[in-house]
Amino acid sequence: MRTVDPHRLTGAYALHALSPEETVRFERHLAGCDACAQETAELSATAARLGLAVATATTPGMRDQVLRRITTVRQETPGGPGPGRRGRAGPRARPVSRWALAACLAAASALGGTAVWQHERAEDARAEARGAARTADEIAAVLAAPDAKVRAAELSGGASGAVVVSRDQDRAVFVASGMTRPPGGKVYQLWFDDGVGMRSAGLMDPGRADQTVLLRGAVDGASGMGITLEPEGGSDHPTSAPLAQLPFPV
């Protein structure tokens, strides 16, 4: 590999376009070059913002076109030639302004945006994990409550279920075993029976036969719960006859 001025690698580094060996060498340079460190931070932020903003599919040949074009210009060295300074210039060695470089970054972000996508997915996964941990803690609090009471019942299709209610916690947990998978486009929905109507208590996972579900919302005086089969995404009110109804234990 031919030697490249490390000052001109900030854009490629911001887009994760360097080889592992180049990345190691550039990061050594970055540790002692304030100008490159600042420009790398600016370009990384620009790439991330542009990656989030771009949602239009590119033409099949755009990647090759961008790669051809970027070989005809060179990146301006951080802290290098500017107004009043002399530097080499030529048809294949003219400095590129930061706006031009930002345009290249926009194109590159449109082509990939892989790093931004991975970051978003990682953040989503962390948020889901935190949510799952909170739910697990709430379920444990209901099951371990000193006043917790259980009511079990046989459900249709050979399934079985039990509801655990803690009036002190004002929450309820439904435990199901052997649930058959709902038909395509359908989902099992849980309901609080308030006596005068049914109040949604959340959806079950259609892909799991055995599961423990924290009913969404407070018990708030409900006398029992029900399960219906609803369109995917759930309904505001039951649209089918209850598949099961369980009175809350007293």
100/194: higher pLDDT: 194
State whether 10 and 105 are in the same domain: yes
Residue 132 lies in a domain: no
Task: Give a yes or no: residue 235 inside a domain.
Answer: yes
- Assess whether 97 and 183 both reside in one domain: no
Mean pLDDT of 84-90: 47
| Amino acid, res. 209 | A
Q: Note the pTM of the prediction, 2 decimals.
A: 0.51
User: pLDDT tens across 193-204, in order?
Assistant: 998 889 999 999
Residue 155 covered by a domain: yes
Let me know whether 166 and 106 are in one domain.
Answer: no
State how many domains the chain has: 2
25 part of a folded domain: yes
The radius of gyration of the chain's CA atoms, rounded to the nearest angstrom, is 30
Report the pLDDT value the prediction gives residue 216, as an integer from 0 to 100. Answer: 93
From 145, 225, 158, 218, select the one nearest 191 (Cα to Cα). Answer: 225
Confidence band of 223 (pLDDT split at 50, 70, 90): very high
What pLDDT shows up at residue 114?
56
The answer to whether residue 129 is domain-embedded is no
The pLDDT score that the predictor gives to residue 140 is 85
| 29 within domain boundaries | yes
Grade residue 92 by pLDDT with cuts at 50, 70 and 90.
very low
Strands 74-75 and 95-96: parallel
Whose tokens are 């970027």? That residue is 70
**Which of 114-128, 160-174, 204-218 comes out lowest in average pLDDT?**
114-128
Range of the domain at 200: 149-247
DSSP assignment of 183-230 equals PTTEEEEEEEE-SSSEEEEEE--TT-SSEEEEPSS--TT--EEEEEEE
- Per-residue confidence band for 11, with pLDDT thresholds at 50, 70 and 90: confident
Residue 227's contacts (CB-CB under 8 Å, 6 or more residues apart) are: 155, 161, 188, 189, 190, 191, 204, 242, 243, 244, 245
Considering the domain boundaries, does residue 33 fall inside one?
Answer: yes
Determine which of 54-58, 168-172, 197-201 has the lowest per-residue pLDDT on average.
Answer: 54-58
160, pLDDT greater than 60: yes
Who wins on pLDDT, 131 or 240? 240
Mean pLDDT confidence for 4-14: 80
Give dist(CA 98, CA 103) in Å, integer: 9
Same structural domain, 238 and 159: yes
Q: Do 13 and 61 lie in a common domain?
A: yes
pLDDT at residue 39, rounded to an integer: 80
